[in-house]
Chains A and B, each alone.
Chain A
Amino acid sequence: MDLFEYQGKQYFAQFGIPVSPGGEADTVDEAVAQAEAIGYPVVVKAQVRVGGRGKAGGIKLAENADEVRLHAGNILGMDIKGHTVRRVWIELSSDIAKEYYASFTLDRPNKLYLGMLSAEGGVEIEEVAATNPDAITMLSIDPTVGLDLETAKRWVAEANLDEEAREQAAALLVQLYTCYVEGDCDLAEINPLILTTDGVVRALDAKVTLDENASFRHPEWEAWAGTDTEDPREAMAKEKGLNYIGLEGSVGIIANGAGLAMSTLDVVNQVGGSAANFLDIGGGANADVMTAALEVINADPSVKSIFVNIFGGITRVDEVAKGVIEALKRVDIKSPIVLRLDGTNAVEGRALLKDHLSDRLVAEPTMLDAARRAVAFAAAIEGGKG
């Protein structure tokens, strides 16, 4: 789960990481009220999970209530790279002397933690890594050892942070590391980490990705659960407990297993189509799960055909077939369905479906054949409308 900046800062604050005083607002009036409480000047910041907010006009300085009103009015509802701004974060303006970069993430190849620190913050770190890799000082951390203050002090010196920032930065890095580990983050990133003109180090931005596998030990994440998806299809799928990701195409996908689901998107693409979604129904392809999956896909107006791709391992294909038949009784499906059912008990499953097949419910023997059929259905429907 990717947090918004304001949520990330609230999370940082729980671990003692210094952030600017601020508050969130969903309306212009709320924005003004927050600014009045904080004191001027403030910065009005669009809350979207995408970079380049400043360039898009989503971050503005306001000296007084009228300016807050003006900027919040412009920013709320603004579209930034396809993301609609529904909330702004109002925070006390900082006088920036220097901008740094700090982050912790998993070093997958080495199975250790990777800390990255740079005296050149405020720009995309991938760009720095590409153009000036020496400007980033990497620190490899053994998860069984951790990061202590002494190591952090050596690290800030090595990264050439300004003398006056080092003491505070080292302490902040230990706090950020604690947030990363104990807070179960996949990524904890501050860009920029600033040194103010009066010598204070704090986080001016927050990019936090939480590891949803750890949600069982973080009841406090519940407060953010409703805000992590903007796609109504994904919100609906999440409510039904489905592993769904919305995409742009016209072929609705239902598959069992993450790998097979990914592969199904690829095959649809290879035969000239495009998938409307990723949906992994896992091992539980019974009538309830199949009904839920078909309901979500059926509600998507861009879906023109549906490709159900099941390979029975533990999941028995005859059970899947029963699930499909039962689901079709419960849901009025708008688009034609192409089934590819293979693996354990495939013969029995196909026999069960035989009497239910029609020009709107067809079965194909292989993944490729089924993909071609589903793509042809979608193309015919789209062409017919054009």
Chain B
Amino acid sequence: MSIFVDENTKVIVQGLTGGQGRFHGVRNRDYGTKVVGGVSPNKAGTDFEGIPVFASVAHAVAETGATASFVVVPPAGAVGAILEAAEAGIEFIVCITEGIPAHDEAKCFNILKKNFPNARLLGPNCPGIISPGKCNIGITSGDIALAGGPVGIVSRSGTLTYQALHELSQQGVGQTTCVGIGGDPVPGTNFIDCLEAFEADPETKAVMMIGEIGGSEEERAAEYIKAKMTKPVVSYVAGVTAPPGRKMGHAGAIISGSQGTAQAKMEALEAAGVSVALNPTEAGEKMVAIVRNL
């Protein structure tokens, strides 16, 4: 099994006719994802490489029965696109857009929470989600993932997600689902959401969690793992040597005062019984060892 998406998930692409939307939308379709439509008000009624384009998400949903959306629109319009998807009844929204103002994200999150409690937002500023062999929504390269499980991956960083997939796939260890929750300060889906889903998924036998400096999501995840998780977790946290007060590439990757250090996160995870690695390679090795002993 997989979490959040599977081989039957019908996806529309908001921003399909833009440069990124064209590239990734077609790539996701070619991977085998059921990409059933795109949304672009100016190009409604046409199609792009066989994918029909609709004027609105509501129209696309009515015509295709889509339940998921891939939002690839620029920062100024991204929140509007996310809310349009939620209003049209989309239940799983993946937004890869980088550079959305934090206040827009905070408002968006709270509107979704209040008015659309059944809608899940993944991202923004994330690589998306891939369930190898079944569904790929986002920008992850499908050929570095390996189908069949038993590992679930959740990560705040895109390239470290790829690195993790690569480390495992090279050793013949597959993945059930790999979720990039993104590097912004207000992620729609957090570590705990993913850990809960992996814990409930019978095919996932172990979880790799990749964190980074900033915020306290890793510490909260550690509490959850300690209290609820029965499956082994391997973790790596990036940014041990990051200076305080600087945004390290991601808007959310910042040590504020004494808050959000990698050290504190690693200590919290270790105290929760998580196997904490010092670098991505070691994380891969630890996970391979766990899987071999399952």
Contact = CB atoms under 8 A, between A and B. Distances in A.
Interface of A: 2, 106, 108-109, 111-113, 126, 142-144, 181, 184, 186, 211, 213-214, 216-217, 243, 245, 247, 255-263, 265-270, 274-275, 278, 280, 311-314, 342-344, 366-368
B279 A270 contact: yes
A213 B110 contact: no
Contacts of A247: 243
B281 A368 contact: yes
Closest 5 CB pairs of A and B: A259-B157, A258-B249, A257-B159, A259-B160, A214-B101
Contacts of B163: 260, 263, 311, 342
A278 B243 CA distance: 10
A311 B75 contact: no
Chain A interface, DSSP helix/strand/loop, else mixed: mixed
Interface size bracket, B side: 35 or more
A269 B241 contact: yes
A311 B110 contact: no
Contact of A266 (B110, B159, B162, B239): B239
25 contacts: A108-B215, A111-B186, A113-B106, A144-B114, A213-B99, A213-B102, A257-B157, A257-B158, A258-B212, A258-B249, A258-B253, A259-B238, A260-B159, A262-B213, A262-B238, A263-B163, A263-B236, A265-B241, A266-B241, A266-B278, A268-B241, A278-B242, A278-B248, A314-B139, A344-B141
B109 interface: yes
A198 B56 CA distance: 60
B139 A260 contact: no
B183 A259 contact: yes
Contacts of A216: 75-76
B181 to A, nearest CB: 12
Contacts of B215: 108-109
B160 A257 contact: yes
Nearest to A257: B159
A343 B110 contact: no
Interface string B49-64: 0000000000000000
Query: Which of A2, A109, A259, A266 has the most C-beta atoms of chain B within 10 angstroms of its own C-beta?
Result: A259
Contacts of B243: 245, 247
A106 B101 contact: no
Interface of B: 75-76, 99-103, 106-107, 109-111, 113-114, 127, 139-141, 143-144, 155-163, 166, 183, 185-186, 210, 212-217, 220, 236, 238-243, 245-246, 248-253, 257-258, 262, 278-281
A259 B213 contact: no
A344 B248 contact: no
B224 to A, nearest CB: 13
A181 B106 CA distance: 10
Nearest to B99: A213
A200 B248 CA distance: 41
A60 B90 CA distance: 60
Given A258-B253, A314-B141, A344-B143, A143 B213 contact: no
A262 B242 contact: yes
A40 B212 CA distance: 50
A126 B239 CA distance: 22
Nearest to A280: B249
Given A108-B216, A278-B248, A343 B141 contact: yes
Nearest to B165: A313
A313 B114 contact: no
Contacts of B127: 313
Among A217, A263, A266, the most chain B Cβ lie within 10 Å of the Cβ of: A263
Nearest to A266: B240
A113 B109 CA distance: 12
Contacts of A111: 106, 109-110, 113, 186
B111 to A, nearest CB: 6
B279 A263 contact: yes
Nearest to A247: B243
Given A144-B111, A213-B75, A311-B166, A256 B159 contact: yes
Nearest to B254: A186
Given A108-B215, A258-B157, A263-B279, A126 B257 contact: yes
A143 B103 contact: yes
Nearest to A248: B243
Given A106-B106, A257-B159, A367-B279, A262 B114 contact: no
B23 to A, nearest CB: 8
A25 B197 CA distance: 58
B183 A258 contact: yes
B241 A186 contact: no
B253 A262 contact: yes
Most interface-central of B144, B185, B238, B246 (chain A CB within 10 A): B238
Contact of A342 (B101, B156, B166): B166
Contacts of A266: 238-241, 262, 278-279
Most chain B CB inside 10 Å of its own CB: which residue of A108, A142, A181, A270: A108
Given A211-B103, A214-B101, A258-B159, 19 more contacts: A2-B245, A108-B216, A109-B217, A184-B102, A213-B251, A257-B249, A258-B158, A259-B160, A260-B160, A260-B163, A262-B253, A263-B279, A266-B238, A266-B239, A280-B249, A342-B163, A343-B141, A343-B166, A367-B279
